[in-house]
Structure 1
Amino acid sequence: MLKQQLNFKLSQKLSPQQIQLMKLIQLPTQAFEQRVKQELEENPALDNGKEEPKDEYEEFDNSGDDDFESEKIETEINVDDYLSDDEVPSYRLNTNNYSSDDEDRQVPYASGTSFTQHLMSQLHTYRLDQEQMEIAEFLIGSIDDSGYLRRNLLDILDDLAFTQNIYTDEQTLEKILKIVQNLDPSGVGARSVEECLLIQLKRKDETESVSLAISILTNAFDHFSKKHYQKLLSKFDITEDQLRAAIDEIEHLNPKPGGSYAGNTKVVEHVIPDFEIRIRDGQLELTLNGRNAPEMHVSREYTNMLKGYKDASEKSKSQKDAVMFIKQKLDAAKWFIEAIKQRQQTLFVTMSAIMNYQEEFFLTGDERNLRPMILKDIADEIGMDVSTVSRVANSKYVDTPYGTKLIKEFFSESMTNDQGEEVSTREIKKILEMTIQDEDKRKPLTDDKLAKILKDKGYPIARRTVAKYREQLDVPVARLRKEI
């Protein structure tokens, strides 16, 4: 049996405008600039440029079934800009998104030869028959960005047969690989770190320390990688000075030959700070990057179209459809302008709260002065949601007197020291890092000893916590920090 029932339900949903605003807040400066340019291209009712004097603004009031809210006209624009047959409208060529005193930080584009092309150009100087050249080129194409051949030769043999119709044997492949390994940079084409280092050592002039280094890598690589120096001393019957000289030879080699190639065309990330903090007369001064505040205005021509529609005595269906399209574009333009203003305000208010919260750090630059701070602390301070603060912190950078920092780095959990005070975990990590730097490298401190030292300094933390912080600092265990 079917029946109808009426229920009241209270629900909270984000409007499309709120979702778009959250996305705008999350964007860093460079991505925000691209988003503004995209909106300018997609919405002809949006314009950027200088504002007209306020006494020249026009107002009109529409009332009735086909009329719309009062609009303010805030830009000077020629009707020909929209009616021209030119393929590239002039509004797409406008680049005055910056304030007059903003620094020009355009990043030039770089082009060059790729790592693979660099190896190919060297290979073509060798006299090889067609099949050998094709095999060598296939091997080079299998080398990764670090300069290593990570694949098994048997797998490469199968690929040569199935994809290149080349049938060869493992001995021939090994022989051609030796030719590839003669290319620069030294060590390229190696199948392991051990082989990479040996290739580089064998190119050096033969000396006592080089010969000993080759013997160590060939016969005792496991002892060397684990820094079992006493076992090396007894195995090769050498003095500490001889072992130190051999290790010095190895440490000056490049374990990633591909990474040293200057022409490597990897994408380089360029960071443009979203904020700048400066110290003036002992006080902190915060500024928002001018690129986050473009001048955006509603197009005069589109509002004039609405006014012309209002004054028309007869209104056809096509005119009504056109004016509805214009109304949608004008609404979108007004919303985008308002969203930019809200974005600016949100960024500035959030960063101001962070700056004031961490004032001691920004005045001194000492990470030990960082206060424990979580997202909720700032959210409560500015009266916004935690997710909004997270969007600002996760993708924005601030230029400080001590370098450019990711904002989320200022957030950290807290722990209580032996005096009952809450301290930042960043402070403890900094003290741990400094303790490791000052240790005797011949007898590095174990995690147990580090925990005891921190406890003596007033930070009672467990050994496993020390190990966790040490790993987060990318510091190896005591045995691997040992030096002879």
Structure 2
Amino acid sequence: MAQKLIQTQTQKQVQTQRLTQQQMLVVRMLEMPLTELEQSVATEIDDNPALESGGQDTDHEPDDVRTETPEGDADEDFDTASEREDREAALDDALAGIGMDDEMPEPVSPQAADNQSADYEEMTYGDQVSFYDRLKEQMVDVELTPRQHEIMEYLIGSLDGDGLLRKDIGTLADELAIYHNIDTDETEIEAVLHTLQTFDPAGIGARDLRECLLLQIRRRPRSDMRQRMDDVITKCYDEFMNKRWDKIKTQLGLDDGTAKAVHAELLKLNPKPGSALGETEGRNVQQITPDFIVDTSDDGNVTFTINNGNIPELYVSPSFADMIDRYRKDKGKMNRHEKEALLYAKEKVERARGFIDAVKQRQHTLYVTMKAIVDIQKKYFLDGDESDLKPMILKDVAEKAGLDISTVSRVSNMKYAQTRWGTFKLRHFFSDSVKTEGGEEMSTRKVKAALKDIIDNEDKGNPLSDDAIKNMMASKGYPVARRTIAKYREQMGIPVARLRKK
């Protein structure tokens, strides 16, 4: 019997939530490192007259609020007049519900904000990877022998701040022989240099400006424009440097429009390809301001404090708060302009209270997160031995702190803790776990430290195979599988035994 298909239409109600402005403020503030927060607080104090800092002064009357009729003020400046006009334009819409929402909004928990994080656009503050580290990261994408790897690292270290290689190849060969005991020649160095010149950004590793420009041009897809740009640099470089475009047009047979287009494209090239990375490096070398100060006493106690930097005590301006009280008592007796000023004051007070609440929530969340980390990793904070870092992931800290995982992730990004062993990113204290063949969980960092120690002390004339390393690891109390040894060895950039042989 054939089945009959019937198409039906149903209506379903789905409840969705989006982040409010207050929730977005809480999330953004939670991600901010201390220096960013200090700037944000200073900006908010300047922008919002209802937000004040330091000791409260009840006699202070903000200039932004006027309870008298403003139209007749002949000396009113442009900014004040513009602000008054903007408020009047919004007044008609606002007056309809002026008495309906007098209560201030309830504080928003960071957990609630995190549960709706899909609607929030992630923000990052800075990049902690230096110019040279960015180039070294790209080395994993090319095939290099251990010898070529050392030559490449030396070339990267020899680049100047513009990303160019100013030393001649012969000098580099001499330095490698003297300082690194690598007996090489110019041909081998040039081969490695050509590989470096394929790294990003285009132009890196060039030996002069001409080569730098050509490297960038030749990264472009083949086209008539690319060929013309190449011709200008290869055949008319002196004219190009001296801006003699009449000679270039004649020599290359270009019409005015084509010459203008080629000139415009050449101006888009970067004569200092390292500058984009150099700006990042410049930010990175600035002094790191720790968000937490961890103290370890001789009697085995570990305590910490949150670094509040130059953030002042914040409070709502008393004069603005008084205006809100007056509004609640006398709103039925007020004229239009009085209601206008009080509506403005109410908006500023709500914004100030929301900002203060977000700062307090940030402090609380940072405290419970760091407390959970210290509780889990107490042994490490006592002795500073990385092998004592316990397996700890975001979920472990979230459960102990009573927070959402995404909240812990935001706290851990771009936050630093100062300890007696050094200043570290919070991410430093996290470590995945690996199950041993006996079912025991161990910190991957601890296993990697033991693996590196074995390889560092092996006979370089007869390096250990992964099976041999596995047996030695087991004898030291790390009974992990051979495939785990191979995986961690590759992650640490250590080649197989035959390539380690010297």
Fold match, TM over 0.5? yes
Q: State how 1:423-462 maps to structure 2 within 5 Å.
A: 423-462=442-481
Measured after TM superposition, the shift of residue 36 of structure 1 is 1.9
Alignment of 1:184-199 (within 5 A): none
Question: How far off its partner does 1:314 sit?
Answer: 4.8
| 1:295 equivalenced with 2:313 (yes/no) | yes
Q: CA deviation at 1:461?
A: 2.5
- 1:144 is aligned, of 203, 206, 222, to 203
Stretch of structure 1 that moved more, 289-298 or 5-14: 5-14
1: CA distance between counterparts of 2:451 and 2:233?
58
1:326 matched to 2:341:
no
Q: How much does 1:276 deviate?
A: 1.2
Aligned-partner Cα distance in 1 for 2:297–2:59: 39
Number of the residue aligned with 1:132: none
Structure 1 residue 298: Cα displacement? 1.1
Structure 2 partner of 1:233: none
Corresponding residue number in structure 2 for 1:215: none
Structure 2 counterpart of 1:162: 228
Partner of 1:464: 483
RMSD: 4.3
Structure 2: distance between partners of 1:466 and 1:161: 50
Corresponding position: 1:274 with 2:340: no
Question: 2-side partners of 1:407 and 1:369: how far apart?
Answer: 16
Paired residue type of 1:25: L
Q: Distance in 2 between matches of 1:450 and 1:355?
A: 33
Q: Structure 1: which 5+ residue stretches go unaligned?
A: 53-73, 88-112, 120-141, 177-257
**Distance in 2, Cα, partners of 1:400 & 1:422:** 27
Equivalent pairs, count? 327
Q: Which amino acid aligns with 1:297?
A: Y
Which string of whole-angstrom CA distances, capped at 9 and with x for unpartnered residues, describes residues 207-231 of structure 1? xxxxxxxxxxxxxxxxxxxxxxxxx
User: 1:102 matched to which residue of 2?
Assistant: none
Letter in 1 for 2:162: F
Match of residue 55, structure 2, among 45, 51, 55: 51
Report the identity percentage: 38
Q: Output the CA distance in 2 between the equivalents of 1:407 and 1:391.
A: 11
Per the alignment, in what secondary structure is the counterpart of residue 290 of structure 1? coil
**Cα distance, 1:75 vs structure 2:** 6.4
TM-score by length of 1: 0.56
Tell me how far apart the structure 1 counterparts of residues 49 and 497 of structure 2 sit (CA, whole Å): 64
1:393–1:313 CA distance, 2 compared to 1 (3 A)? closer
AA at the equivalent of 1:77: H
Letter in 2 for 1:273: P
Counterpart code for 1:317: R
How much does 1:147 deviate?
4.5
Determine if contact 1:419/1:458 at 8 Å carries over to the other structure: no
The equivalent of 2:36 in structure 1 is: 31
Partner of residue 122, structure 1: none
CA deviations on 1:251-299 (whole Å, 9 max, x unpaired) are xxxxxxx9999xx664331322111111123211201112285311112
Checking the alignment, whether the CA contact within 8 Å between 1:395 and 1:406 is kept in structure 2 is yes
2:136 counterpart of 1:77? no
CA deviation after TM superposition for structure 1 residue 358, in Å: 0.7
Q: Is the 8 A contact 2:58 2:319 kept in 1?
A: no
TM, length-normalised to structure 2 = 0.55
Measured in 2, the distance between the counterparts of 1:164 and 1:316 equals 74
Change in CA separation of 1:143 and 1:386 when aligned onto 2, cut-off 3 Å: closer
What are the equivalent positions in structure 2 for 1:22-421 lying under 5 Å apart?
22-48=27-53, 50-52=54-56, 77-79=60-62, 115=162, 144-147=203-206, 149=211, 151=214, 155=218, 162-163=228-229, 166=232, 169=235, 266-269=281-284, 270=286, 271-282=288-299, 283-291=301-309, 294-306=312-324, 314-417=333-436, 420-421=439-440
What is the match of residue 124 of structure 1?
none
Q: Work out the CA distance in 2 between the residues paired with 1:115 and 1:394.
A: 30
Distance 2:457 2:478 in 1: 18
**What amino acid maps onto 1:267 in structure 2?**
G
